[in-house]
Structure 1
Amino acid sequence: MNVPHERVRAQIEVILQSWGMAPDLLATTVEAMVETDLLGVDSHGISMLMTYEKRWHEGTLKLQVHPRIEKQTACTALVDGGAGLGHPVSAFGMNLAVDMAKAAGVGIVGVRNSHHFGAAGVYARIAARRGAIGMVTSATRGVTMVPTRGAAPVLGTNPLAFAAPAKRHPPFVLDMATTTTAAGKVKVYDLNNRQLPSGWVLDAKGQPVTDPKQGFDIVFNQPEGGLSPLGGSPEMASAKGYGLAMMVHILGGTLVGSSFSPIRNRTQKPGDPDDIGHFFMAIDPAAFRAPGEFENDLDDVIDVMHATPAADPSKPVLVAGDPEEAERQRRLRDGIPIPASLDTLIRGICERSGAAYLLS
C-alpha cells in the first residue's frame, strides 16, 4: 500500500515516543527518517525501526542523551553521540561543520559513540541547502563486505555522500554504498520477495546468490559470504571498491576513534553501544569564488550533462540526485510504498510498545 508521508511521519513519531526518546532528538530523527523514505531509500527509513527496537531492548541504544562537543578548533570538532541514534548527532554535526565553514572556509566534524544514522545523503543535503558543499562518510555496525579475493566479510557497506549547491537546478547529490549495493537493499528485496540482481550477494565460495531469502540470510546471519565490493569484478575494479570502503572507514571510524566492527564484535559485552563513527565536511564556495559564481558554473555543468545525447531517447541522461528528487516528488503526491511484510512488522512493534498503529 502507498501511505501518505504525513501518516508515515506520525507512525514513526508515536513509536519513538513510546520508547521514551527526548522530544527534540525525536523531531530530528523523524524528519531524517521520513525524508529518507521520500527520497526512495527504502532500506534506511521506516524499515529500520525493527533494528532500532532490538538495540533499544538490548540497552545499547540511549534515547535521552544529547550530542556533546568534546574538542573544537576554528574549523574542526569532535562530537560524542552519547550512544544515541545517529540522526540527531549527524544533523548537529553537519550543521556545526557548515557554521565553521561559513566562518573559516571549511569545517570538519567527527562523531564517535553513535549508532545507525540512516541515509548519508540526507546530511549532505543539509550543507547544500545552506549554500555549502558537503561530504559525509560513516563506519557501520554490520560486517557484510567480502574483500577482493576473500570468502568472508570484513567491512560494512560504509557509505559516502557528497552534495553541492546549484542555483537553477536542485543540488548535485551523490549518495552511495561502497559495496555493490547497500545491505538494507537486500532487506528490501526480501521484504518484497524480489529476486536479487546477480553479483550483489556472494556465497562462501564467491558465487552470486539471487534468491532474496538466501541473500538476506548470508548478509545478516552467516559468517561467510556477503556483499561484493563496489565494482564487483573484474578483480581490479573490485579492489578499488574495497579500497574506497577502507578510505571511508578511516575517515568515519579510525580518525574519530570509533570501533572497527570485526574487532568490536570480538570484544563487545552485553549492553555496550555500537560506537559507530561519522565524518562531516563542509566547504564554503565563497572561500574560493565570488558569491554565486560556483552555483552558476555548476548549473552550466549540469545543463551540459542533461544535454548529452541519450543512448535511449526514452531515458534521458541524469546526474546524481535526479532520480531521488523525482522519486521525492512522486511520493509527496502518491505516498510512500509500504510492503505488506513491512506493515506486519510495524504492527508488531506497535503491539509490543503500546504505540498506536497509524499506517492504515
Structure 2
Amino acid sequence: MSAELIVPASLLKQQLVAVLRAWGVPDDQADVTAETLTRADLLGIDSHGITLIPLYADLLASGKVTPGAEITVARAFGATAVIDGGAGFGEAPAVRAMDLAVDLAEAHGIGAVGVRNSNHYGAAGVYALQAASRGFIGLSMTAVYGASIVPTFGREPRMGTNPIALAAPAARNQPFLLDMATSTIAIGKLKLAMRTGKRLPEGWALDRDGRPQHDPEQALSDKLMTPLGGSREMGGHKGYGLAAMVEVLCTMLSGASYAPLRPADAKAYNVGHFQLAIHPEAFRDKGDFESDLDDFLDCLRATRPADPDQPVLAPGDPEHAVFARRSREGIPIPHTLIDQVRAIARKAGARFTLDEAGS
C-alpha cells in the first residue's frame, strides 16, 4: 500500500467542513476555513492544510478556541479597520479582513486591516493571493500564539514563526507570490519531518544548549528555532528583525497579545494578523503595473542557471505548478494523517469521507 492517499480537493474540503461543523463552527465560517486549508494543500503548503486539524482539535480541547465565534469590526478609520475574531479559528476573520482591505483599497488606493482576538490562521500566502485574485497587491502576516524563534544571541524563544506573504497580479503570468516564515523553517515542516522519519538539517533548530538539533520530535518539544538565516554570520539577525516587525504590526498595532507576556491564565490566545491591500491603479495607469511585473517575472526566469537541469524560478512558480497538478490529480495525504483525522472525526461525531478517495 502506498504511504499516501490521493484525495480530490472537493472531497478534502467536504471532510474539513464536516469536522468543523461537528465542532460547532457556523456553516459560513466552516466553509471559509475549509476552503482556506484546502487551498494551502493545493498550493503544496502541506504544513498548513489538513495537517492542521490535529492542532485545531487540541486548541479546541484546551478551550482557547470559541467554535461559534462572532466576528465583528471593532474599529474603522479612513482606509483602516480592526476586526475582532471573537476567539474563533483564525481563517474566517483573516479572510474577512483581506476582503475589507481590498474594498478599502478600491475606494482609497490602499487598505490596512488588523485582526485581534484570533487564532492560528493557516497559510499567509492564501490571503495574499485572495487580494491578487481581485487585481490588488496583497500583503498578509500573522503573529503566532506560542514563542518558538530564538533571537540572535539568545537561548530562549521570544517570537513565533511570524510568516509574511505578498502577492501581486500580473497580466500574462500567474501572480507573483512570496510566502515565508521568519524562522529558518515553519513548525509544520518539523511535523512533516517527524511523520516521515527524516532528520533535520543543521541550522533549522537548536537544542537546549544552543547546538544544532537534528531530532524533529525533540525540536517540536523544545521549540527553539533559528530566525531566518540561522546564525549571526549567515544573517540570522535579519530574520530576527523581520519576526519582530511582524509582531509590531500584528500584535501591538491591533491590540493582540504578545505571547511571552500573555498571562498564564488568559482565556484566549488573542492572536493578531495584519492584512494590507494596494490598488495598482492608485500608482500607475491601468495595466501598466501588471505589464511591468510580467516583464520582471520573465526576466527572472531568463536568468542563466548555474545548473542547466535547474532553471531559475520566479517567486510563486513552485506553488502555481503544484496547484495546477493537484487540481487535476488530487492532493496526497499521508496515511498516518488520515488515521488521525479519522479518529478526530469519529470523536466529533462527523462523517469520515476521505476513504472514499481510495474506492
TM-score by shorter chain over 0.5? yes
The alpha carbon displacement at 1:192 in A equals: 1.6
CA contact (8 A) 1:15 1:350 kept: yes
Task: Give the match for residue 222 of structure 1.
Answer: none
CA contact (8 A) 1:36 1:45 kept: yes
**CA deviation digits over 1:108-166, x for unaligned, max 9?**
00110000100001000011111111111111012111111111111110011111110
Letter in 2 for 1:228: T
Tell me, in whole angstroms, the C-alpha distance in 2 between the residues paired with 1:268 and 1:25: 28
For 1:336, which of 319, 331, 336 is the aligned residue?
A: 331
For 1:354, which of 321, 338, 349 is the aligned residue?
A: 349
Task: Give the match for residue 79 of structure 2.
Answer: 75
What is the SS of the residue equivalent to 2:321? helix
Tell me, in whole angstroms, the C-alpha distance in 1 between the residues paired with 2:290 and 2:130: 16
Say how many residue pairs are matched: 351
CA contact (8 A) 1:125 1:163 kept: yes
Task: Give the match for residue 258 of structure 2.
Answer: 260
What is the SS of the residue equivalent to 1:10? helix
CA contact (8 A) 1:192 1:341 kept: no
Tell me, in whole angstroms, the C-alpha distance in 1 between the residues paired with 2:194 and 2:222: 12
The alpha carbon displacement at 1:334 in A equals: 2.4
Tell me, in whole angstroms, the C-alpha distance in 2 between the residues paired with 1:192 and 1:305: 34
Tell me, in whole angstroms, the C-alpha distance in 1 between the residues paired with 2:231 and 2:265: 37
Letter in 2 for 1:26: A
Letter in 1 for 2:76: Q
What is the SS of the residue equivalent to 2:354? coil
For 2:231, which of 218, 230, 233 is the aligned residue?
A: 233
Task: List runs of 5+ in structure 1 lacking aligned partners.
Answer: 220-225
Q: Answer yes or no: is 1:125 the counterpart of 2:120.
A: no
What is the SS of the residue equivalent to 2:167? strand
Moved more, 63-72 or 133-142: 63-72
**CA deviation digits over 1:206-265, x for unaligned, max 9?**
21122222222222xxxxxx110001124471111101100011001111110000111x
CA contact (8 A) 1:199 1:208 kept: yes
Task: Give the match for residue 19 of structure 2.
Answer: 15
Tell me, in whole angstroms, the C-alpha distance in 2 between the residues paired with 1:67 and 1:338: 31
Q: Answer yes or no: is 1:285 the counterpart of 2:280.
A: yes
CA contact (8 A) 1:148 1:235 kept: no
Moved more, 335-344 or 97-106: 335-344
Tell me, in whole angstroms, the C-alpha distance in 2 between the residues paired with 1:236 and 1:214: 24
CA contact (8 A) 1:167 1:299 kept: yes
Moved more, 294-303 or 68-77: 68-77
For 2:143, which of 114, 124, 139 is the aligned residue?
A: 139
Task: Give the match for residue 275 of structure 1.
Answer: 270
Task: List runs of 5+ in structure 2 lacking aligned partners.
Answer: none
The alpha carbon displacement at 1:5 in A equals: 1.6
Tell me, in whole angstroms, the C-alpha distance in 2 between the residues paired with 1:27 and 1:10: 9
Q: Answer yes or no: is 1:87 the counterpart of 2:95.
A: no
Tell me, in whole angstroms, the C-alpha distance in 2 between the residues paired with 1:97 and 1:177: 22
For 1:308, which of 303, 307, 320 is the aligned residue?
A: 303
CA contact (8 A) 1:25 1:66 kept: no
CA contact (8 A) 1:9 1:30 kept: yes
Tell me, in whole angstroms, the C-alpha distance in 2 between the residues paired with 1:65 and 1:9: 21
The alpha carbon displacement at 1:348 in A equals: 1.3
What is the SS of the residue equivalent to 1:60? coil
TM-score by length of 2: 0.95
Q: Which segments of structure 1 move beyond 4 Å, counting only runs of 4 or more? A: none
Task: Give the match for residue 165 of structure 2.
Answer: 161
Letter in 2 for 1:324: E
**CA deviation digits over 1:280-327, x for unaligned, max 9?**
111101001100000000001111111111111111111111111111
What is the SS of the residue equivalent to 2:240? helix
Letter in 2 for 1:229: P
For 1:345, which of 329, 332, 340 is the aligned residue?
A: 340
Moved more, 3-12 or 273-282: 3-12
CA contact (8 A) 1:43 1:185 kept: yes
The alpha carbon displacement at 1:16 in A equals: 0.7
Tell me, in whole angstroms, the C-alpha distance in 1 between the residues paired with 2:66 and 2:124: 21
Letter in 2 for 1:237: G
Letter in 1 for 2:236: S
Q: Answer yes or no: is 1:190 the counterpart of 2:194.
A: yes
Tell me, in whole angstroms, the C-alpha distance in 2 between the residues paired with 1:53 and 1:335: 25
TM-score by length of 1: 0.95
**CA deviation digits over 1:324-359, x for unaligned, max 9?**
111111212222121122122112102211112211
Task: Give the match for residue 28 of structure 1.
Answer: 32
Task: Give the match for residue 320 of structure 2.
Answer: 325
Say if 1:261 and 1:39 are closer, same or farther in 2 by CA, change over 3 A: same
CA contact (8 A) 2:152 2:232 kept: no
What is the SS of the residue equivalent to 1:110? strand
Tell me, in whole angstroms, the C-alpha distance in 2 between the residues paired with 1:57 and 1:343: 20
Moved more, 309-318 or 171-180: 309-318
